[in-house]
């Protein structure tokens, strides 16, 4: 089975965001392993995995539903990144890099989601 989702720019950006978040959270305090580290990683990985799951269902309504879940996870990432920056777990440079990728992911994902609206 071809991995059609890999051709989607929204998935590519979401995958990049999740990967960068995983790398960036390696330096979080050990006591956050089951707190913010886990929460941020789960929210980030939820974005590309929900895109994949929606595409795997091969049904317009389900693709739209799963892309909507991915959008919700993206908003969760937005808040968690701000909170982690406020706690000084990530530098301004890392925060701005992740936020730029998150913003671009959001624009692509929203466009993808809207493409499944009724015509």
Mean pLDDT for the chain overall: 94
The span from the CA of 107 to the CA of 8, in Å, is: 13
Structure tokens at 98: 């992740």
The span from the CA of 54 to the CA of 48, in Å, is: 10
Tracing tokens 């908003």 back to the chain, one arrives at 75
Domain positions in the chain are: 4-114
Structure tokens at 30: 């050990």
Tracing tokens 């720019």 back to the chain, one arrives at 9
Which of 108, 114, 112 has its CA nearest to residue 16?
108
Give tens-digit pLDDT for 51-100.
999 999 888 999 999 999 999 999 999 999 999 999 999 999 999 999 99
The span from the CA of 61 to the CA of 58, in Å, is: 9
Which of 24, 27, 69 has its CA nearest to residue 48?
69
DSSP letter assigned to residue 8 = -
Give tens-digit pLDDT for 25-56.
999 999 999 999 999 999 999 999 999 999 99
CATH code that applies to domain 4-114: 1.20.1440.60
How buried is residue 95: exposed, middle or buried, by Cβ count under 10 Å (0-12/13-18/19+)?
middle
């Amino acid at each position: 089975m071809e991995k059609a989702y890999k051709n989607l720019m929204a998935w590519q950006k979401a995958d990049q965001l999740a990967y960068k978040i995983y790398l960036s959270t390696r330096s979080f305090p050990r006591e956050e392993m089951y707190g913010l580290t886990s929460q941020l990683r789960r929210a980030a990985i939820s974005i590309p995995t929900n895109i994949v799951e929606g595409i795997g269902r091969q049904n317009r309504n389900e693709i739209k539903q799963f892309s909507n879940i991915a959008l919700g996870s993206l908003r969760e990432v937005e808040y968690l990144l701000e909170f982690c920056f406020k706690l000084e777990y990530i530098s301004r440079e890392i925060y701005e890099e992740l936020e730029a990728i998150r913003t671009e992911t959001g624009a692509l994902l929203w466009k993808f989601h809207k493409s499944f609206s009724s015509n």
